[in-house]
Each structure stands twice: as C-alpha cells, then as structure tokens.
Amino acid sequence: MSAALLSPRMSLVKPSPTLAITDNAKALKAKGMDVIALAQGEPDMDTPANICEAAIKAIRGGQTRYTAVNGTVELKRAIARKFLRDHGMTIAPDDVIVCTGGKQVLFNALVATIGEGDEVLIPAPYWVSYPDMVVLAGGKSVSVECDATVDFKLTPELLAKAITPRTKWLILNSPSNPTGSVYTEGDLKALGQVLIAHPNVLVMVDDMYEKLLFDGAKFFTLAQVVPEIADRVLTVNGVSKAYCMTGWRIGYGHGPSWLIGAMSAIQSQSTSNPSSISQAAALEALDGPQDFIAAHNVIFERRRDMVVKLLNECEGITCLKPQGAFYVYPSCAGVLGKTTPKGVKINSDFDFANALLDEKLVAVVPGSAFGLAPYFRISYATSDDILKDACQRIKAFCASLMA
Ligand SMILES: Cc1ncc(COP(=O)(O)O)c(C=O)c1O
C-alpha cells in the first residue's frame, strides 16, 4: 500500500550505487570482517585548521541566522575573485549562487530548465547522480559512451552525433569522477566548435575536482576557453574536494543571470540559504592559504602511481593513468567468463565487484553504475598501506580465477 503512494517518477530513480556498496562494506565490517572500502568519494584528509577556526569564529560572532538565499555577498565576491585568479574571468557576484553542496547547484539548474522530454547528454562513464537528477527533473538522460580508446573523454565527433533538437544540456566533468580524466584546453576548444554551431544547447560544467591535478597538468574551464558560448554555460564548483570539506555542504555555480535567478527562486522555496557557518568557512577556504592543496596532490599522485602499477600487474586487469581527481577506472574485461574459487562465474563488472567483496573483502564500485562496463572504480583517497593491501588482494583474487 505505502509504496503505491509514491510518485511514478520514483520508479525511475535508483539509490546511489556508490553508497550501496559502501553500506554493504560497512555491514561486513560491523560483523568484524577485515573489509577494505575503496568506494569513498572524499579526501581522507581533515579540513584545514584555519577553515575550522573561521567557522568557530562565525558561530561566536553570531553568524547564526538566515543569510541571503543564494549566499552571502562576501562569499559571492570571494567566488568572483576565484574566477579571476584561476580562470582570468571577470564575473559579477550577482551571477553566482551558493548552494548546499555542488549537488544542489546541479539539481536546481536541472529543475529550473528541464521540460517534458528534454534530453541531457551525459558522457559515460559519468558521475552516478547526473542521470537520476535529470530523471527527477522530468527529463531524459542520454548517455554517450566514451571508452578507454578516447581516454574516457567526449570527442567533438561523438558530441555532434549525439545532439538532437531535444538536447537541452550537455554535462561535462573534468577532472572526472569516476575516471580521473582531464580535458585539455585543446579538448575544450574542439568541443566548443561543435557547441557554437548549436546555440540552443546549454552546458553544465562540473569543475568539482579542479584542484586535484598531477604530472603538471593544467586546468581549463569551458567558459574561459570558449568565451563565445559563456552566456549559456553553468560552471559548477565547490569546496568539498579541494578543501576537504565534504561534510560542510557548500557548492557554487556561475552562469547567466536568468538561470541563476531561476535557481535562486527554487532554492528560496526549498532549502533557503546554505548553512551560514559553512559559508563563513568556505570564504576562508577560498581567500585563505592554498598551499596545502599542492601538498595533498603530492600524496594523491604517489598513491595513483602505486595503484596504477599494482593494478596493471593483476591478471586480466588494465588500468590507464589519469591526471586528476582521486579515482582510477580499470577495465576488468580480461576476467570475464572466469570462475572464482567459490564457484561464481564472472559475467560482468557487477559480478566482479560482488565476488571481490565476498571473497577478498575489497569494496570497489562496478563500472555499470557509471554507465560504462566492464570496468570498476577505485578511490585512492585512503592510506598507502591500505591501498597496497587492497591491490595485493585484487591481484590474488585475479590469480585465483579459473578459465
Ligand atoms: C563529479 C562530482 N560532482 C559533484 C559532486 C557533489 O559534490 P558536493 O559534495 O559538493 O555536493 C561530486 C561528489 O561526489 C562529484 O563527484
């Protein structure tokens, strides 16, 4: 009876598979099993002390009331300074919205714009929440497969082929969750040429992992590189990943005034302002010292190198070396059709992830959750020792499989 009361759209929404795997792993851990979870989407470092202090000061200073719905003027100004500093873009603080995490920026934008039957192009593999947010907003998510041969990145040819008269949005994410792939300036310029020819397509650019870069890679954002289309780009970012502030829930977006206005209207009738205290902390994050980011990147780069090397030593696994974020996306094509010591036949990446958790107690997320199989995602946002142990278990698991 009670399920029958749910909206029909709920049948189209899946709970986050990354959270489901993490929950399974937690349940096994609670039973006392030695589980290694490599499914987490957050840095393992703590929020820097100066940012925490700014929040404490805000509480003591009475910044405990409602703020402007779409963020404090101080924080929106700091975000405008960040766009100038990092991208050479001069933007108006009024064209910025601050939300409860990057997730709410994306969600507000989709709800504000999607009409029945509108299509949203999502290069796969994609971050798990995009398609479900599109469906919740009443649209149709259209996955565009971008496999390892194109470094998991959308190409101009694939984009041109996927655009239809119903295309409302393209979503781009660099560095990528789940692959770590980074779009170069040239990549973005080439995609921009296609987009210039399609003036009705909006572009949602998710820069959440902007600061997590390796091998001297440089970050570029679409509105900076292709200014001709900047008036239809929503640039989404936040403090969650770079500043180790996932729990603080602050994300922000910059876009055309008409869109930011509509998103703010939705926010005014749903959640109102993001936490005043978290906004004060985010202001310190953006304006304060940035040097810890480079120090974190040294750690992430070292872990990436180790994980990629060890995974490529596993029979049947191949892994590209990405230049950003804290994920790798190895292919498990070479183990399909094999059987585990417990007698489970591996027919998909889903089977692989389940058997790996069951037989070696390592939790990874199957690629089918991200729209491109047969792969799996490993988050290396955990200690070197844990990663080494996990890779050794994966290696032993792969070696134990029978043809
Ligand atoms: C690609 C991507 N975009 C957006 C987000 C959302 O970030 P937030 O925690 O600020 O809502 C995440 C979080 O995992 C992400 O991986």
- Report the pLDDT value the prediction gives residue 261, as an integer from 0 to 100: 98
Residues with CB under 6 A from ligand 1: 41, 101-103, 127, 173, 177, 206, 208, 238, 240, 246, 251
| Cα–Cα distance, 274 to 67 (Å, whole number) | 8
Nearest CA to ligand 1 atom 4: 102
Mean pLDDT of 382-393: 97
Predicted model pTM: 0.96
pLDDT in tens, 26-43: 899 999 999 999 988 899
Give the number of the atom of ligand 1 that is nearest the alpha carbon of residue 249: 10
How confident is the model at residue 53, as a pLDDT?
98
Write out pLDDT tens, residues 327-364. 999 999 999 999 999 999 999 999 999 999 999 999 99
Alpha-carbon span 74 to 173, nearest angstrom: 27
Alpha-carbon gap, residue 151 to 118, rounded angstroms: 28
Q: Which helix (H) or strand (E) holds 176?
A: none
User: Ligand 1, from 21, 129, 204: best to mutate by most atoms within 8 Å of Cβ?
Assistant: 129
Q: 305-308: list long-range contacts, CB under 8 Å, 24+ apart.
A: 306/384, 306/387, 306/388, 306/391, 307/378, 307/380, 307/387, 307/391
User: How far, in Å, is the centroid of ligand 1 from the Cα of 318?
Assistant: 26
Q: Which residues pair with 362 in a beta bridge?
A: 36
In the reported structure, the alpha carbon of residue 339 is separated from the centroid of ligand 1 by a whole-number distance in angstroms of 36
Give helix 276-287 / helix 49-60 axis angle, nearest 10°.
140
Partners of residue 375 on adjacent β-strands: 331
CB atoms within 10 A of CB 84: 11
How far is the C-alpha of 8 from the C-alpha of 108, rounded, in Å? 21
Asked if residue 372 has pLDDT above 80, the reply is yes
Is 90 exceeded by the pLDDT of residue 9? no
User: Which of 177, 234, 379 has most ligand 1 atoms within 8 Å of its beta carbon, as the pocket-test mutant?
Assistant: 177
Q: Check residue 208 and give its pLDDT.
A: 98
* Per-residue confidence (pLDDT) for residue 17, from 0 to 100: 66
User: Percentage of residues in the chain with pLDDT exceeding 70?
Assistant: 99
Which residue is closest in CA terms to ligand 1's atom 16?
177
Token look-up 């091998």 returns: 215
Identify the band that residue 18 occupies on the pLDDT scale cut at 50, 70 and 90.
low
Q: Give per-residue pLDDT as tens, 101-132.
A: 999 999 999 999 999 989 999 999 999 999 99
CA 383 to chain centroid, in Å, comes to 21
pLDDT of residue 2: 78
Q: For residue 284, what pLDDT band results from cuts at 50, 70 and 90?
A: very high
Structure tokens at 123: 């290069």
* Structure confidence by residue, pLDDT tens digits, 51-106: 999 999 999 999 999 999 999 999 999 999 999 999 999 999 999 999 999 999 99
What confidence score (pLDDT) does residue 15 get? 73
On whether the CB atoms of residues 18 and 369 are closer than 8 A, the answer is yes
Give the residue, by CA position, lying nearest to ligand 1 atom 1: 177
Exposed/middle/buried for residue 77 (C-beta within 10 Å: 0-12, 13-18, 19+):
middle
Over the chain, what is the mean pLDDT? Answer: 96
The answer, yes or no, to whether residue 290 has pLDDT greater than 80, is yes
Burial class (CB in 10 A: 0-12, 13-18, 19+), 11: exposed
pLDDT at 19: 72
